[in-house]
Amino acid sequence: MINWGIIGCGNVTEAKSGPAFNKVGGSRLIAVMRRDIKLAEDYARRHGVPKFYNDAGALINDPDINAIYVATPPGSHAEYAIRSIEAGKPVYVEKPMAVNHAECLKIIEASEKYRVPVFVAYYRRALPGFLLVKELISNGAIGNVRHVFIKCFKSPTPEELTGKLSWRVQPEISGGGHFFDLASHQLDYLDFLLGPVMKVSSLVLNQAGLYDAEDFISASFLFAKDIAATGIWCFSSSPENNSDLIEITGDKGKLTFSTFSFEPIVLENSEGRKEYINERPEHVQFYLIKQVVNALSGQGTAVSTGITAARTSKVMDEVMATWM
């Protein structure tokens, strides 16, 4: 039985991940930690978790826990992941893996030193709709992939407009702005589809001045077999311009789908136009957590590891290298 403890039971754990630990066979959530003990107790009560802490060390050293989910903001991922690894406990880390590639490498170094596995919550690698896209490409539905286009436009939140900034736009905590939070999913998924990025060029700006982090990114990526990709991310657009699009063009067709809104997947080729349902599970991390539990139980492998996730952080660092 894999007995989980969660460090940082915030919003992401309420529905996306937390309940899934009790719904996967051979897995159960037995403890949570939050710095505010009242919030930790409230989470434990609502989710039927028997133990709660306000000290990460106490959770890490709980002898009943044999695997740890680090769900704090990225600024503390490396610290808690490494402490868990040193205690001999496998870790499942929220994305992005850390605030930068250098911190990812420290986690991997600890993982290799203590021979303790690391997994990262890039769950689109395991979602049915995103696996269908991979299958359609592998089966030649659009022929040879030529280009991938990403467009992610998002208007500022009311809080950002009034100067009440969340940790997601504070680089010392998140690694950057919304690009690190949202584009990390998209770039990791392209790594899953096409392999590692070989070359990056970018333009990074702060156009609106609402916070110190970047709010506009235009970037180009080169993959093996001369597959090109282009992405535009703008986080200061008007609501009318909000967009969530990935378009994969091949020499025999095109696939169009969303990253976050789970719109239908659209295939267009010589046979016409066809739509596929992009399933959104009740708990979106369920399928990946199931893979992680199976891997820890010696019954399979998981597709999102510290090694794969570190590549995504490296690409984001390379995109940000032009940021002045």
CATH superfamily placement of domain 2-121+284-303: NAD(P)-binding Rossmann-like Domain (3.40.50.720)
pTM over 0.85: yes
pLDDT, residue 177, reads: 95
Q: Do domains 2-121+284-303 and 128-280 have the same CATH topology?
A: no
Give dist(CA 262, CA 244) in Å, integer.
10
Residue type, 172: E
C-beta of residue 77 within 8 angstroms of C-beta of residue 68: no
Mean pLDDT of the residues in the chain:
97
Domain 128-280 is in which class? Answer: alpha beta
Over residues 92-146, the pLDDT tens digits come to 999 999 999 999 999 999 999 999 999 999 999 999 999 999 999 999 999 999 9
User: How much is the pLDDT for 323?
Assistant: 79
Domain boundaries, the chain: 2-121+284-303, 128-280
State what percent of residues in the chain have pLDDT above 90: 98
Q: pLDDT per residue over 247-306, tens digit each?
A: 999 999 999 999 999 999 999 999 999 999 999 999 999 999 999 999 999 999 999 999
